[in-house]
Amino acid sequence: MASGRIKNSTLVAYGLADMPVMLALMPMLLFLNKFYATDVGIDLIDLANIMLFARLFDLVTDPLVGYLSDHTRTPWGRRKPWMVASLPFLMLGIYNVFLPPDGVGIWYVFTWLMVMWLGWTMLIIPYYSWGAELSGDYDDRTRVTGWRAAFGSLGSLTSITLPVIAVLWFDLQGVAGIMQLTGLAVIIIIPIAVLTTVFLVEEKADAPAPSLPLLAGLKVMLSNGTFRWLVVAFFISSTGLAVVMPLNAFYITGVLEEPENSIPIMLFFTFVAGLLSIPLWVAVSKRYGKHRAWIGGFLVVTAVSPIYLFLGPGDFWVLVPFAALSAVGTGSFVALPNAMKADVIDIDTARTGENRAAIYFAAWSLVIKFANTVGAWLGLWALSLVGYNALGGATNAPEAILGLKLVYAFLPAAIFILAAVVIWNYPLTRQRQARIRAAIDRRTERRQANGRVPAE
């Protein structure tokens, strides 16, 4: 594998495909529950349960797509055909989830979520696997994930900016309008961005297809203790984010008593802060290591969280700077774990002599999906336990509002502290990864000398 520094133009072209993915994901995390409960009329707990059950579909599709992507051989590459094939599923699923007709029910949501997630799997697993193959250098991989995270954050920011502009200048009304606007934007942007990445970035030609069968490959992956360590910490931290993100809408409207149109305004400031913080965390990780920098992000978020307990009606502009500071902390969640994941894959490559990145990215994708679903499910059930009524137009007692504050302020913080404890003694440092990478490169050179791998 080439050891030269990746050109910035290549990183821009590669990272571009993540923009529409996050443009679609953020409204789902932030607004979907409220949209289907308030505007469509589906009970929040029923909706959370259906979304959790829909993830069972991914238990089959994620490892299968990962395995098939690793073994795909075409003149165009092995990752690109899957990314292109994902587009019809994604566009059809997103359209029906974001712009449902009147009178839909739970089974409509369940069906189109599965179609959308299938397209998501077909895009994300090959795309992220491809990113891990662009470079074997410890710090260069951080640049790859950093650029991708920056474009992803730009997509998230766009998903907030469009509604803000529409609210302030075009009188967009409520969560339903936000879902419709962002859904249409994604359908237009996603084929342009994905096809641009596919046509402008080359795949590496020196990665042989794995010879292990699917189940045997999964067994080897699960025997990778460093991967298990990382994925547990990532699942915990992602669950914490997934708890707080859908609760933003309920906190702003329920505790601060702001209209729904204030939600994207607050989120605009937080995503700008998160986007600007990514270069900071990349620099911190270069000096102190990736997992230590990640822990720093946890500490920032947990230090800010208790402040939310003391806010009330009329405190919207008090909330904004503290939420922005918390978003600086979550900037570390965006860039660093993905770079750490690429390093962990090298351990497997060194042990087996094969590049099976897509199997790892399938598992990672599954963890993200389940963390998002479990986090949202956990947050909604916590609101139910404290007696908060999330139905549109409902009046909540002071005790229920206090319960919402407690859930919003302390449940995610407790989860982030647990994640920091888990990752504290993470063993894969820069020095160890460099040794592993050197061993892989030596083996690749021997294979090239023997004619088993084409030289670049």
Residue 1's pLDDT is 40
Return averaged pLDDT per consecutive 10 residues of the chain, 456 residues in all.
65 88 82 81 79 77 81 81 94 93 87 90 86 68 76 80 78 78 89 91 63 58 80 92 87 89 85 85 86 92 94 93 92 81 77 68 75 86 83 82 94 94 84 74 69 49
**Which residues, 6+ apart, have CB-to-CB distance to 162 below 8 Å?**
181, 182, 185
Query: pLDDT tens-digit profile of 400-452?
Result: 999 999 999 999 999 999 999 999 988 877 777 777 777 777 776 776 666 65
Delineate the domains of the chain, giving CATH numbers in brackets.
Answer: 8-449 (1.20.1250.20)
Residue 206's pLDDT is 53
CA distance 323 to 317: 10
> Tokens 């707990």 belong to which residue?
45
Query: pLDDT tens-digit profile of 39-92?
Result: 787 877 787 788 778 777 777 787 788 778 877 788 777 888 999 999 999 999
Residue 214's pLDDT is 52
Of the candidates 364, 380, 348, 334, the one whose C-alpha atom is nearest the C-alpha of residue 58 is 364
Q: What is the pTM of this model?
A: 0.75
Long-range interactions of 113-118: CB distance < 8 A, separation 24+:
113/50, 113/51, 113/54, 114/54, 114/57, 115/89, 116/89, 116/90, 116/92, 117/54, 117/55, 117/57, 117/58, 117/61, 117/93, 117/369, 118/57, 118/61, 118/89, 118/93
Residue 416's pLDDT is 94
